[in-house]
A and B are shown apart, each in its own frame.
Chain A
Amino acid sequence: MPLLAAEGVSHLGGYFFISSAMFVLGIFTMVTRRNAIYVLMGAELILNAAALNFVAFARHHGRAGALDGQMFAIFIIILAAAEAAVALGIVLQLYHHFPTIDVSKPDRLGD
């Protein structure tokens, strides 16, 4: 089955293509940026790509009528919200301790 099958572009392959591309772009963002907020944005892209993959695969190949993929996506969203709040709190505290949020600069724990 080719990735983007001609008989149905909204088939599973299309969703896999889009979620893979989002995943790769998220990794690229996390690796290339030194600003902590960019790193968090890359993490959000990766989480979204994973959740989209769960929903698409469950829709096309899951048990009939089951909601397992959507449930995974809902729990991913719950944990992503918690992660974003805590991580931004840490970033603010990082900025108060060191006058920067460049993730390559802080080099000590504690005082």
Chain B
Amino acid sequence: MDAFMFWFFGGCALAGAALVALMPKLVHSAFALVLSLLGVAGLYWTLGADFLGGVQLLVYVGGITILFIYGIMLTPRDATRWSLGTLVLPGVLVAVPVAVLMSVAWQGLAAALKPAAPVTSAPTTDAIGTALLMRDQYLIPFELSSLVLLAALVGSVYLARRRKGG
């Protein structure tokens, strides 16, 4: 059952990512991105990260995707047509070395890592909330991230507004 869930969600994530890379139309890629993000949320759940999976659903699937859809609607359609052969060669030239690097890295990691200890699953929401508010754990990054979000909020409104006469 565990393996089935892993391959189901992992397959969603991989298929979505592949469709984002290969779909000719922007809107189709946006919906493929939704599939991929849903798969990642499921993978978080298989890792016992229930709160993180929920956050992934709310923020990514519910929020960032909507932003992308708005971005697509507000910009010209088919500004660039996806055609095989223009930039695919550079893409392969960049992607294949990275993939090779990943597999080499895995060979090194697998030798270095100790065998995994058995892990238990418990709800993590309470523990995450406590860790975010403990001064010796994540309080400072938590407060700083609220500043970052405020700056991003003001900045994106300022950037996206329509200037008079411009």
Contact = CB atoms under 8 A, between A and B. Distances in A.
Interface of A: 1-3, 8-16, 18, 20-29, 31-38, 40-42, 44-45, 48, 51-52, 55-56, 59-61, 64, 67, 70-71, 73-75, 77-86, 88-93, 95-97, 99-102
Contacts of A89: 155-160
Secondary structure call for the B interface = helix
Contact of B51 (A33, A38, A70): A70
Given A15-B47, A25-B18, A71-B138, A92 B3 contact: no
A37 B68 contact: yes
Given A37-B26, A41-B68, A70 B49 contact: yes
Interface residues of B, number: 86
Contacts of B99: 20-21, 24
Contacts of A102: 79-80
Contact of A25 (B3, B20, B131, B141): B20
Contacts of B26: 35, 37-38
Secondary structure call for the A interface = helix
B114 interface: yes
A30 to B, nearest CB: 9
B94 A31 contact: yes
Interface of B: 2-3, 5-7, 10, 13-14, 17-18, 20-21, 26, 29-30, 33, 36-37, 40, 43-44, 46-49, 51-52, 55-56, 59-60, 63-64, 67-68, 70-72, 74-76, 79-80, 82, 86-88, 90-92, 94-95, 98-99, 102-103, 106, 109-110, 113-114, 116-117, 119, 124, 127-128, 131-132, 138, 141, 145, 148-149, 151-153, 155-160, 162-163, 166
